[in-house]
């Protein structure tokens, strides 16, 4: 995620400052560089506080997810873009929806790729899928939406579990290294510089990163959503009319977006 780069930079600068605090030189240039590191860290902090890049990222993500789920509703003829006397009616409703949601998110226009603005918002492929019969649309929805989302959530759950183990393991290694340096100060009192303080800062940075990323919490949430999609999936084969399919699509899209919506809400609360 792009908004996490300033956080990485700030932690990195603090670790560098911790190593410089060991006093490897008395040269004025050395101490000037030491001070510069703190200035840079403060600058990054102010940038994060004023610009709040994480909020822009989440708003862009919310916008893209909203458009994606509505696009699938349109292609599957699900409410509020269901069958009408002419296709122009749901087409107009879909365009009005896009207009309203983009107007409501005008403040994040800079985060949207400008080259996409020149492309058709309702593509020929969307119209082609919408014109298919019920069984054909069910097959496309099952293979290209439900299976895709279930695989995505399952993979994200697995990735977050693995990341949690890696970062916890790395933190434990740093703790062990810090413990060793403390014991060496007892056993080798004549050893001048041991990187105990830098290792403490490094461990604190790792812990902060784990808290920011919320690996375990995300892993549980994504796994739950994957299971929920798995429960939904078999029901699709039992559907044999447009109204039931419309209800199913809306229920499925709600399941796909629920976890994402909750995380966006939590981000705003924070």
Radius of gyration of the chain (CA): 26
* Residue 143 CB-density burial (10 A; 0-12 exposed, 13-18 middle, 19+ buried): exposed
pLDDT at 37: 94
Tens digits of per-residue pLDDT, 240-265?
999 999 999 999 998 887 766 655 55
Q: Which of 35-49, 111-125, 191-205 has the lowest mean pLDDT?
A: 111-125
Q: What are phi and psi of 135, to 5 degrees?
A: -65, -40
Predicted TM-score (pTM) above 0.85: no
Task: Say if residue 9's pLDDT is above 60.
Answer: yes
Cα 181–Cα 190–Cα 201 angle in degrees, nearest 5? 30
Residues shown for the chain: 270
Place of tokens 């995505």: 152
Residue 116 has pLDDT above 60, yes or no: no
Res 64: pLDDT: 82
Give pLDDT, residue 117: 46
The predicted-structure confidence for 76-100, as pLDDT tens digits, reads as follows: 999 999 988 888 999 999 999 888 8
* pLDDT the model gives residue 264: 55
Q: Is the distance from CB of 82 to CB of 89 less than 8 angstroms?
A: no
Q: Answer for the pair 221, 233: CB distance below 8 angstroms, yes or no.
A: no
| Mean pLDDT of the region 1-28 | 85
What is the pLDDT at residue 118?
Answer: 40
As a whole number, the mean pLDDT across the chain is 86
The answer to whether 223 touches 157, Cβ cutoff 8 Å, is: yes
Residues 6+ apart with CB under 8 A from 252: 141, 145, 146, 229, 232
Token match 């809400």: residue? 265
The first and second tokens of residue 16, run together, are 């560098």
Residue 160 burial class via C-beta count within 10 angstroms: exposed 0-12, middle 13-18, buried 19 and up: buried
Check residue 109 and give its pLDDT.
57
Indicate whether 46 pLDDT > 80. yes
Query: Which pLDDT band, with edges at 50, 70 and 90, does 111 fall under?
Result: low
């Amino acid at each position: 995620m792009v908004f996490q780069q300033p956080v990485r930079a700030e932690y990195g600068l603090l670790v560098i400052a911790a190593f410089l605090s060991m006093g490897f030189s008395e040269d004025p240039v050395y101490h000037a560089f030491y001070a510069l590191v703190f200035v840079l860290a403060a600058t990054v902090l102010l940038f994060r506080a004023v610009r709040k890049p994480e909020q822009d990222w989440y708003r862009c993500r919310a916008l893209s997810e909203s458009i994606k789920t509505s696009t699938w509703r349109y292609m599957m003829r699900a409410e509020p873009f269901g069958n009408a006397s002419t296709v122009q009616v749901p087409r107009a409703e879909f365009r009005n929806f896009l207009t309203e949601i983009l107007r409501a998110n005008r403040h994040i226009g800079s985060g949207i790729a400008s080259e996409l603005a020149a492309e058709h918002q309702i593509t020929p492929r969307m119209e082609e899928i919408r014109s298919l019969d019920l069984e054909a649309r069910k097959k496309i929805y099952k293979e290209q939406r439900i299976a895709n989302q279930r695989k995505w959530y399952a993979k994200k759950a697995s990735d977050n579990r693995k990341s949690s183990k890696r970062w916890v393991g790395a933190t434990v290694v740093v703790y062990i290294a810090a413990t060793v340096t403390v014991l060496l100060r007892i056993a080798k009192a004549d050893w001048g510089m041991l990187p105990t303080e830098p290792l403490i800062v490094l461990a604190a940075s790792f812990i902060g990163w784990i808290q920011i990323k919320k690996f375990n919490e995300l892993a549980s949430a994504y796994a739950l959503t994957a299971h929920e999609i798995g429960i939904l999936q078999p029901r699709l084969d039992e559907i044999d009319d447009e109204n039931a399919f419309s209800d199913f699509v809306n229920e499925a899209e709600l399941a796909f977006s629920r976890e994402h919506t909750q995380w966006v809400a939590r981000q705003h609360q924070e």
